[in-house]
Amino acid sequence: MSDWTSAKDLLAQIRKHWDSGQLLADRLDADGTRFPLKLRLKKPVSRDLTDRFEAVREWVAELAGHSREQCGDGYEIEWRTINHRTLGRNRLPRAVTVPSADDALRLIGKTAQARRFDQLTNQILAEFPSLHAWLMRRPLEALRRADEWPRLRAILNYFQHHPRPGLYLRQLDIPGVDTKFIQARRGLIGELLDEVLPESAIDAEAGGVRGFNRRYGLASRPALVRCRILDPALAMRGLTDLSVPAEEFARLELPVDEVFITENEINGLAFPDHPRAIVIFGLGYGLERLAGIDWLARARCWYWGDIDTHGFAILNRLRHHLPRARSFLMDRATLDAHRELWGQEPEDRRFSGELARLDEAEHTLYRALLDDLLAPRVRLEQEHVRFVWLARFLEQVVREQANG
């Protein structure tokens, strides 16, 4: 009997309509209805009456036992009568339908949740009619958040009355709502704000959880630039390790000839002293913080990153802001000298785009890495480069300075 549709199978079909959200979404759509809902029914064929008569009788009894005919509600069975020459007249199900949404909800035990959804959406739409489309798309999410809606509505109300407030989350005065509540639900709140706020209150270029503050006009922690002054004579009242907002860094006007940029924090902290120089470290892809800084553009800038696809991608990006920046310890000689320290880039995280700002040697090495010409997914992290190589490079820089 397992090859015929059982009562359990019929309920599973109805649950799929619940799990997709359609049973709830239909309650918000005056024009849309899927009822009466015809369910798929795989049933016995004529030969089964002869070969499996008892199994057919059990299947019919099981199906009828959960029907509206015997239970007073539920699905309806459309019957057909078969006249068999030896078994006589027998009724077999031809089709099964669910007459109404109420019947469907009762069959899967969701009546109370549907009523809760009705109450919830009435409250929400009375205050925010523009959320109708969102509720149609995300009815189960709305129901799952039922207990949170008083606070969610308070947040939406606040932003409607205070668009782009320019405050930190911590400063928002919303009764019953704390910072952690908003932080943990930025994705959801963003979906709702997009529906209720005018376009003028939304920065469309910012998106996702990380862009939440910018998108809705909230203050964010300032982007910091960390650097070490490598020349003791340039120390600022004895301070050599600075971490300052990018805007303040731009105003430092340090009298330096050389600026070294490296990703690894330990490399930045251990970077040797060097005359009229600083080292900037830990920016990753956040290189836009260095854009438009005149005193930085006047200095000779050097970049040291991992010898892998992302290292060259960051170098390429740096040159968008500092076109004259040069790389160091990112060449084939450095790579070959540290072969025993090679690692591998994760296959699914490699950068594979075109890098138009690399010079010929850099581009050749980048393509060799990307095309696995040296070994599969080669990567030499900068912290694996022996420090003597850095010392030799800095000696070379000093000689170049001396020679003008």
Supply φ then ψ for residue 275, to 5 degrees.
-65, 135
The domain ranges of the chain are 7-107, 111-215, 224-402
**How far apart (Å, rounded) are the C-alpha atoms in residues 54 and 108?**
29
- Beta pairing class for 326-327 and 300-304: parallel
Give DSSP secondary structure letters for 57-77: HHHHHHHHTTBHHHHSSSBEE
How many other C-beta atoms lie within 10 A of the C-beta of residue 22? 17
pLDDT under 50: residue ranges of the chain: none
How many other C-beta atoms lie within 10 A of the C-beta of residue 179? 13
Check residue 72 and give its pLDDT.
79
| Residues 89 and 31 sit within 8 Å (Cβ to Cβ) | no
**How far apart (Å, rounded) are the C-alpha atoms in residues 402 and 404?**
5
> Angle of helix 186-196 relative to helix 149-161, nearest 10 degrees?
50
Tokens of 376: 């599969």
| Residues 379 and 344 sit within 8 Å (Cβ to Cβ) | yes
Check residue 372 and give its pLDDT.
94
pTM for the full predicted model: 0.71
**How far apart (Å, rounded) are the C-alpha atoms in residues 227 and 224?**
10
Check residue 288 and give its pLDDT.
84
Q: What's the topology of domain 224-402?
A: Dna Topoisomerase Vi A Subunit; Chain: A, domain 2 (3.40.1360)
Q: What's the N-to-C CA distance of the chain in angstroms?
A: 92
**How far apart (Å, rounded) are the C-alpha atoms in residues 159 and 193?**
8
**H helices within 162-293, ranges in order?**
179-183, 186-196, 212-215, 246-250, 265-270
Positive or negative: CA dihedral 83, 86, 90, 94:
negative
Q: What is the dihedral of CA 301, 306, 311, 316, to 10 degrees?
A: 20
Check residue 84 and give its pLDDT.
65
pLDDT, tens digit, for every residue of 356-390?
999 999 999 999 999 999 999 999 999 999 999 99
Amino acid letter, residue 93: P
Check residue 87 and give its pLDDT.
62
Check residue 74 and give its pLDDT.
83
**How far apart (Å, rounded) are the C-alpha atoms in residues 349 and 378?**
13
pLDDT, tens digit, for every residue of 175-189?
999 999 999 999 999
